[in-house]
Structure 1
Amino acid sequence: MRRPRVKVEHTPYRCEGGTVRIGGAVYGLAAEIEDRRGWVWTALGLMDGTREVEEVVAGLCRTHPEVSERQARAVVEALVGSGYVESGEEVVPPELSEGEVSRYARNYAYFRHADLTPREHGWEPQLRLKAARVLLLGLGGTGGHAGWALAAAGVGRLHCVDPDTVEVSNLTRQVLYDESDVGRPKAEAAVERLRRVNSAVEVTGERRRVGTREELAALLRGFDVLALCADEPRGPDGVRVWANRACAAAGVPWVGGGYSGPLVTVGVYGPGGTCYECLRAGEEARLRAGVPIDLGGPGVLATSAGLSGQFTAHAVIALVTGVPELRPGYVTGVNLIDPTHHVYVRHEPRPGCSICGHPS
């Protein structure tokens, strides 16, 4: 990074006692730096995108004669590596067309704000999205909203799979269809709609019911992430167990979104984290015997289906881009009738689990 500048979203300010706060007020992004001598504040002020790193170091030494060059360099390098600083040189990678730069400008601003990984330019997350291949299984309430969000965000390829046709009762929550689509295969209507959302995305689809783990494993080939938005078959040997095992065998992370009345959740699984079956076992052990933990059922609004799909898409985007870096193996969500109820569940792997556990 030749000419560092502080990201505008992370403009620093000074607090009492000499502390510098950087990163804004967003929980999980902001940091406080003890700066009684003012070195950090001066360095940040010099990082306006017009000076090279060596000039910032020299300026810090001039302003604070007590600072050695070694100390000044350490301060500057730490700030450059913090993620709150970007290059003052606008870099547009050749992989993005002028139209894509215009289309994804708001994506770029979001990633620049949320990403604390030092990068050569702020377009790297978008390039990762463009290269991503996502398998979307299930095109109902959750899947429709997830598919729209992924296409709008600019994933490179999106393959949509669903066995059903559009019914009138779907129209209360399934965003990809309207009254003219009733009776059509969902996969056909969804592909047509998503191609209109973003013609730069390769959207394909098939009307198909996945009936076994082996069929799901075959579908996974060539994809980077699975967005599981289907809920059948249910039960201890259902589609989520198929996904858990097929994705583990393929080394592919997966996201499963769902809802149960007002409770909306998403689970994120993959290499390096607790698998679905271990997390489920941990939750079953915590709950009273007989308490169901399956999500789904007829109780749903457009809002709960929409949140479920958006949470799913957001997790997929995070896995693909690394913004933020996620450690898989958790479920998170919200309760729409209780604003104080935030769902966040993690459990340790079961000893001996063939997918994620420690050897017994």
Structure 2
Amino acid sequence: MYPKLRFGHSIIKIKNNRFIIGSITQGISNTIHDPSGNFKNLNEILTGEYTIDEVVIKTSEILGLTPKNSKKIIESLITMGHIEDGSYLKLSTKSNRYSRSREFFSWIDTSGSSDPFRVQNILSSSKIAIVGLGGIGGSVAMNLASSGVSQIHIVDFDNVEESNLNRQILYTEKDLGLKKSTAAMKNLQKINSEILITSEDKKITSSDDLIKYFNEYDLVYRCADSPDDIPFWFSDASLKSGKPWIDASYNGPIINCCIYDPKVTGCYRCIRESNLRNMTRLGYEEAHTDKVPEINAAISPIVLISGSLAAYEGIRYLAKLKPQSLGKAIHQNMFDYSNSYTVEVPHECQHRATQE
């Protein structure tokens, strides 16, 4: 191994012989106290140029510690997710296409893996299905395609209409009148010709229509907003297959994202029932509805942010990068940014037994 500080993890001295490693990003950074005051000098040796044995010796010289204690420090930094193996970079023949992705994933990968290509390799072998190719579905598809997901299957039954163009930027004026599944596949192939994109012109009418996607793909997105029962169909198909799905939506200026995994979370029916009980207790039961508005009140920025969040959470889920919406419905107010909240999905699922 050739220890190398991850991108964005350079050691910064603050005060009183304390040092920050991992930038100042909450959840990633750590503060370390070093009596010698020389901890920052490890920046000069954790470059991927030296073997781990050489790094241990140099660390001993810098910090005035025994080789045994110096090795413990380096091993701790690896476990904490601050160090990757620079030898992978020396041997890599991978294309430059995802080089910026590699640096980003290097920054946020706290898994303890020393392989700097770990996340990209996962994406390059993942298969995703997206049902619904409106604003959110198109945004999810574009983000996952550009990120290098190996295979993306897209499903919709609708045509591209003029009223779509204010927010569904996967389509252009030249696509008007075309099937969304056809236009989306054509435009996604222009974004990334190296991945497999397949399309299907289909209207979903029951959970039975969805089960094949859950069985075949690693992760399924619900980006279709009609009919009203469709999120419940996704939930039922997920429970039957034991496979995860992501619910991505918005309601005016409020965006929402939640990952349901029957192995670790409750289901969509659970959270809706829990929500109804809570709103009834507070006297807001009339505000609880599963009916979708006939017209989408939306503009491109809101829809794109919603879809981008869902795509990002999907990447984090697949790569085990601590997705924030696993079992928690994230709500972000895009009118007042200070207003965000999460709704916990009940862990115990009484519906699981009825679907197995």
Same-fold status (TM-score > 0.5): yes
Instruction: Establish whether residue 73 from structure 1 lines up as the match of residue 71 from structure 2.
Output: yes
Residues 74 and 355 of structure 1: CA distance in aligned 2, closer, same or farther (over 3 Å) = farther
Alignment of 1:15-26 (within 5 A): 15-26=14-25
Give deviations 1:105-145, integer Å, cap 9, x for gaps: 11111111111223343112111111111010000111111
Q: Percent identity?
A: 25
Instruction: Establish whether residue 253 from structure 1 lines up as the match of residue 244 from structure 2.
Output: yes
Give deviations 1:320-360, integer Å, cap 9, x for gaps: 2223455721111321211211132214334645269xxxx
Give deviations 1:234-260, integer Å, cap 9, x for gaps: 1xxx11111112123222211111111
Do the aligned partners of 2:8 and 2:23 also contact (CA within 8 Å) in 1?
yes
The structure 2 residue matched to 1:285, chosen from 264, 272, 277, is 277
Residues 296 and 153 of structure 1: CA distance in aligned 2, closer, same or farther (over 3 Å) = farther
Secondary structure, aligned partner of 2:183: helix
Do the aligned partners of 1:159 and 1:205 also contact (CA within 8 Å) in 2?
yes
Do the aligned partners of 2:5 and 2:43 also contact (CA within 8 Å) in 1?
yes
Secondary structure, aligned partner of 1:136: strand
Task: Tell me which moved more, 341-350 or 150-159.
Answer: 341-350
Which whole-Å CA distance do the structure 1 matches of 2:303 and 2:91 have between them? Answer: 36
Residues 75 and 247 of structure 1: CA distance in aligned 2, closer, same or farther (over 3 Å) = same
1:28 matched to which residue of 2?
27
Which whole-Å CA distance do the structure 2 matches of 1:342 and 1:295 have between them? Answer: 23
Instruction: Work out the number of aligned pairs and report it.
Output: 347
Which whole-Å CA distance do the structure 2 matches of 1:248 and 1:92 have between them? Answer: 44
Residues 302 and 61 of structure 1: CA distance in aligned 2, closer, same or farther (over 3 Å) = closer
TM-superposed CA distance for 1:93, in Å, is 7.5
Do the aligned partners of 1:166 and 1:183 also contact (CA within 8 Å) in 2?
yes
1:130 matched to which residue of 2?
124
1:83 matched to which residue of 2?
81
TM-superposed CA distance for 1:227, in Å, is 1.0
Residues 249 and 28 of structure 1: CA distance in aligned 2, closer, same or farther (over 3 Å) = same
TM-superposed CA distance for 1:218, in Å, is 2.3
Q: Which runs of 5+ in 2 are unaligned?
A: none
Instruction: Establish whether residue 354 from structure 1 lines up as the match of residue 346 from structure 2.
Output: no
Which whole-Å CA distance do the structure 1 matches of 2:250 and 2:204 have between them? Answer: 21
Do the aligned partners of 2:265 and 2:345 also contact (CA within 8 Å) in 1?
no
Alignment of 1:170-185 (within 5 A): 170-185=164-179
Task: Tell me which moved more, 291-300 or 74-83.
Answer: 291-300
1:268 matched to which residue of 2?
259
Which whole-Å CA distance do the structure 1 matches of 2:213 and 2:118 have between them? Answer: 28
Give the counterpart letter for 1:332 in structure 2.
Answer: I
Secondary structure, aligned partner of 1:49: coil
Do the aligned partners of 1:279 and 1:349 also contact (CA within 8 Å) in 2?
no
Alignment of 1:1-360 (within 5 A): 2-38=1-37, 40-41=39-40, 43=42, 45-65=44-64, 67-91=65-89, 98=94, 101-234=95-228, 238-270=229-261, 271-287=263-279, 288-292=284-288, 294=290, 297=293, 298-324=296-322, 328-350=326-348, 352-354=350-352
Q: Which runs of 5+ in 1 are unaligned?
A: none
User: Normalising to structure 2: TM-score of the pair?
Assistant: 0.89
Give the counterpart letter for 2:150 in structure 1.
Answer: G
Give deviations 1:255-278, integer Å, cap 9, x for gaps: 111111111111111131232222
Residues 348 and 170 of structure 1: CA distance in aligned 2, closer, same or farther (over 3 Å) = same
Task: Tell me which moved more, 343-352 or 272-281.
Answer: 343-352
Which whole-Å CA distance do the structure 1 matches of 2:338 and 2:194 have between them? Answer: 40
Give deviations 1:179-229, integer Å, cap 9, x for gaps: 222221111111111111111111111110111111111233210000110
Give deviations 1:143-173, integer Å, cap 9, x for gaps: 1111111111111111110011111111111
Which whole-Å CA distance do the structure 1 matches of 2:81 and 2:292 have between them? Answer: 40
Do the aligned partners of 2:136 and 2:249 also contact (CA within 8 Å) in 1?
yes
Do the aligned partners of 2:219 and 2:245 also contact (CA within 8 Å) in 1?
yes
Do the aligned partners of 1:276 and 1:329 also contact (CA within 8 Å) in 2?
no
Which whole-Å CA distance do the structure 2 matches of 1:39 and 1:286 have between them? Answer: 54
Secondary structure, aligned partner of 2:314: helix
User: Normalising to structure 1: TM-score of the pair?
Assistant: 0.88
Give the counterpart letter for 1:204 in structure 2.
Answer: T
Which whole-Å CA distance do the structure 1 matches of 2:62 and 2:97 have between them? Answer: 43
Residues 48 and 278 of structure 1: CA distance in aligned 2, closer, same or farther (over 3 Å) = same
Residues 355 and 112 of structure 1: CA distance in aligned 2, closer, same or farther (over 3 Å) = farther
Give deviations 1:17-39, integer Å, cap 9, x for gaps: 22211111222211112323457
Which whole-Å CA distance do the structure 2 matches of 1:127 and 1:207 have between them? Answer: 30
Which whole-Å CA distance do the structure 2 matches of 1:355 and 1:190 have between them? Answer: 37
Secondary structure, aligned partner of 2:190: helix
